[in-house]
Structure 1
Amino acid sequence: MFGFSIFLNEGLTNETKKYIEEMAQNGFSGIFTSLHIPEDDAAQYRKRLTDLGSVAKEHHLELMVDISGEALERAGFSFDRADELIEIGVTGLRMDYHISNNQIARLSQKMPIALNASTITDGDIKELQEAEANFKHLEAWHNYYPRPETAIDKNWYRQKNQWLKSYGFTIQGFVPGDDKLRGPLFNGLPTLEEHRGMHPLAAALDLLEDTDKVYIGDSGLSKEVLKQFSLYLKEEKIKLNVKELDKQVEYVLGDHINRQDEARDVIRSAEARFKDIPNIEPLPVRKRDLGAVTIDNKNYLRYMGEIQVVKQCLPADEKVNVVGQVIEKDQALIKHIKAGQKFSLESVEKND
């Protein structure tokens, strides 16, 4: 499941409402927000959360709210009146520090409750069990990290998640956006440091290997990246944008499926054999860099017409024509095109 973030530092504008609608239409199913309230804004935050809940309900979106007990009370809500939160569209609460495990256990009987994945201990598990928490409603949500060099190590993340899953927790993590990055640092909001600056969909697919819910930490996705998410969510297809290097690229553009016998060095299109391709004349040889899009020429005899995307740098080959290049931003997606994975190659020139 994929979700996205909406921050309540301002009221819901028409632009934000349109963004929420777009995200829902393109397959996203949850909103994350935070209710950490400045002293003088309590009344405004109550209205903003109520408005956001209304929009979330309208588009059938989950709404997880990061909250402390103090901020909740200043906004006019209470843990003792969880039904009121559910009524306005809040579907879950992510608990901040200083909220007791007994209180978390009581709330878990009414709604999904997210704990800070990084700080859950054996002691917490024991206390929650003793308090008869509903573990089917307990989730473990990781943090995002605005400051470079402070986000989580991938190996630690996976080890922690394995431990959490042994207790039945649903696991969540954040990946950065690529538009409207959150200030004041504007360096993305990832859970894993290696995802900072990475293509958001590539980062999301990476997390999905051992994460149940992936949310965009920042406030926006570019139109092109949103389209790539949409294709993946609706058709399970990975779209790669390709820079044209030769007119023969017309033979390789379009929809493909990676062969079931996955190659080490290249993605091999299983669809190539069904394409009506004429005699392919050799082109001047080029080194095949990561993301090179190639078609075998007539010198490869029965392999003529084979279409590939290169997964690691390979030497030039007089039998292989390099006709396109996956743009740098999309190259991180290549490793996620596994055996049987649908993908498409689309020209950036034709999209302009």
Structure 2
Amino acid sequence: MLGFSAYLHSSFQKKDLEMFNQFVKAGFKGVFTSINLPEDDPQVLLDNLKRLGQLCFDNGLELTLDISSVAMKRLNLNLDRDLAIFKKLHVTMLRIDDGISIQRIARLSLGMKVALNASTIEQTEIDELTAAKANFANLEAWHNYYPRENTGLDGAWFKEKNQWLKANNFKVMAFVPGDKNLRAPVYKGLPTLEAHRYENPLAAAIDMKEYGADRIYIGDSALKASTFEQFRNYFIKNVLQIRAQFDHAPSYITDVLHQRADVSRDVVRLREGRPLNKTEIRPTNSGLRKRGSITLDNELSGRYQGELQLVKYQLPADSTVNVIGQIDEKDISLLKYCVANQAIQLIDIGS
């Protein structure tokens, strides 16, 4: 399940609603927000939470609210007394930050979904929740995001932790960064894994699937228009869009093509390349094939003429191969997700 973040520090403007609608159109089904920032005005938070809740309800989205004992006190709210208020605001899950006891979490789980801190939960807490008769069907494990560089989680530790959580029947959620309007005051993205901090958000999201995340949320509140298209095409149509620049490429280069069923180590071989080619291809620009190069076999390659490839690892120049384009640097990491028979569309982003 895909989700995104919407923050409550200011009233929703037209641009915020447009961004919200783009996420909906791209197939996102959940929203994360927080009342934990101490600098935010309590009344503004509650007013904006009410509006966000209505937007989520109207669009059939789940709304998860990050809470802490300090924030609840500052907003003059009490979990035992005011749980109905959150439900009225269309909050479907409470994400517990800190200061809330295991016994209270167990009681909350009897009435609504609760997300625990995935990174810190231990066996003793699971045992306490069991003893307190928590409804584990309503409990999930959500990781944090890490605004400051070098503080994101280690991949090996993260994978091991997720395996343990899933062995204990928790659904796991994690964040990947956005690529537009990065959140203040650090402006370095909001990833769970440090390795994803400057990654293409789609590549990071697909990677999260490999790490065992059941829910994948964008930590920042915005994506670029072309990134929305990548998400929509991959998660709705199963088409992997890869942005690139071209030089003397055939007209069919931007059609939806497919990785062959047999996956090569060094290159992505597009199975339609040779069948689509109807001309003699003269040797030209047969230079070094850098990682991310797009190549077309010329007439010197004999029966391989017209072969289209995307280069995964740097290869030497070959007089039988023309270099006709280059994948955008931010999208090169998508090559590792070109699995057998994957539908692929190269998007021309110009020079």
**Segment drifting more, 87-96 vs 76-85:** 76-85
Note closer, same or farther for the CA distance 1:346–1:297 as it changes in structure 2 (3 Å cut): same
After superposition, the C-alpha distances for 1:87-107 in whole angstroms (9 at most, x for unaligned) are: 221110100111111111111
Q: State the partner residue of 2:51.
A: 51
Q: Counterpart of 2:241?
A: 239
**What TM-score, normalized by structure 1, do the two folds share?**
0.95
Unpaired segments of 5 or more residues in structure 1? none
Structure 2 residue aligned with 1:120: 121
Q: CA deviation at 1:262?
A: 0.7
Instruction: Verify the 8 A CA contact 2:254 2:346 in the aligned structure 1.
Output: yes
Stretch moving more, 260-269 or 81-90: 81-90
Task: Provide closer, same or farther for how the CA distance between residues 152 and 37 of structure 1 changes in structure 2, counting only shifts above 3 A.
Answer: closer
Q: How far, CA to CA, are the matches of 1:225 and 1:185 in structure 2?
A: 22
The yes-or-no answer on 1:228 pairing with 2:249 is: no
Partner of 1:15: 15
Are 1:3 and 2:14 an aligned pair? no
CA deviation after TM superposition for structure 1 residue 136, in Å? 1.7
Distance 1:132 1:348, change over 3 A: same
Matched, 1:171 2:172: yes
**CA pair 40-145 structure 1, distance change in 2 beyond 3 A:** closer
Q: Partners of 2:151 and 2:294 in 1: how far apart?
A: 36
Q: Is the 8 A contact 2:274 2:304 kept in 1?
A: no
The match for 1:296 is: 297
Question: Residue 141 of structure 2 corresponds to which residue in structure 1?
Answer: 140
User: Deviation at 1:83?
Assistant: 3.2
Q: Deviations over 1:39-97 (max 9, x none)?
A: 78222221111111011111111111100134235435432242331222111010011
Aligned to 1:25: 25
Q: Distance in 2 between matches of 1:196 and 1:255?
A: 29
In 1, the alpha carbon distance for the partners of 2:12 and 2:289 equals 48
- Map of 1:190-205 to 2, 5 A cutoff? 190-205=191-206
Identity rate, percent: 42
For residue 101 of structure 2, what is the amino acid of its counterpart?
S
Q: Which moved more, 1:148-157 or 1:291-300?
A: 291-300
Which whole-Å deviations, capped at 9, do the CAs of 1:181-203 have from their partners, x for residues lacking one?
01111111111111111111111
Amino acid at match of 2:260: R
Cα offset for 1:38?
3.4
Give the Å deviation of 1:14: 2.2
| Cα deviation, residue 306, structure 1 | 1.2
Q: Which residues of structure 2 form unaligned runs of 5+?
A: none
Q: Which residue of 2 aligns with 1:283?
A: 284
Task: Give the 3-state SS of the residue equivalent to 2:36 in structure 1.
Answer: coil
- What does 1:332-351 correspond to in 2, within 5 Å? 332-349=333-350
Taking the aligned partners of 1:2 and 1:39, their CA distance within structure 2 comes to 29
Distance 2:274 2:89 in 1: 55
CA distance in 2, matches of 1:40, 1:270: 54
Quote the residue 1:266 is aligned against.
267
Q: Which amino acid aligns with 2:295?
A: T
Give the conservation status (yes or no) of the 8 Å contact 1:46–1:76.
Answer: no
Assess if the C-alpha contact under 8 Å between 1:69 and 1:79 holds in 2.
no
Which residue number in structure 2 is paired with residue 111 of structure 1?
112
* CA distances 1:274-307 after superposition (whole Å, capped 9, x unpaired): 4243122211311111111111112211111111
Q: 1:348 Cα deviation (Å)?
A: 1.2
Are the equivalent residues in 1 in contact too, given 2:9–2:40 (CA < 8 A)?
no
Aligned residues of 1:37 and 1:45 also touching (Cα < 8 A): no
Q: What amino acid is aligned across from residue 217 of structure 1 in structure 2?
A: G
Aligned pair in 2 of structure 1 residues 259, 73: CA closer, same or farther (>3 Å)? same
Question: Cα offset for 1:151?
Answer: 0.7
- After superposition, the CA RMSD in angstroms is 1.6
Q: Matches of residues 154-165 of structure 1 in structure 2 within 5 Å?
A: 154-165=155-166
| TM-superposed deviation, 1:341 | 1.3
Equivalent residues of 1:93, 1:112 under 8 A apart? yes
Distance 2:201 2:127 in 1: 36
Aligned partners of 2:284 and 2:322 also within 8 Å: yes
Pairs aligned (count): 349
Q: Following the alignment from structure 1 to structure 2, what is the Cα–Cα distance between the partners of residues 250 and 315?
A: 26
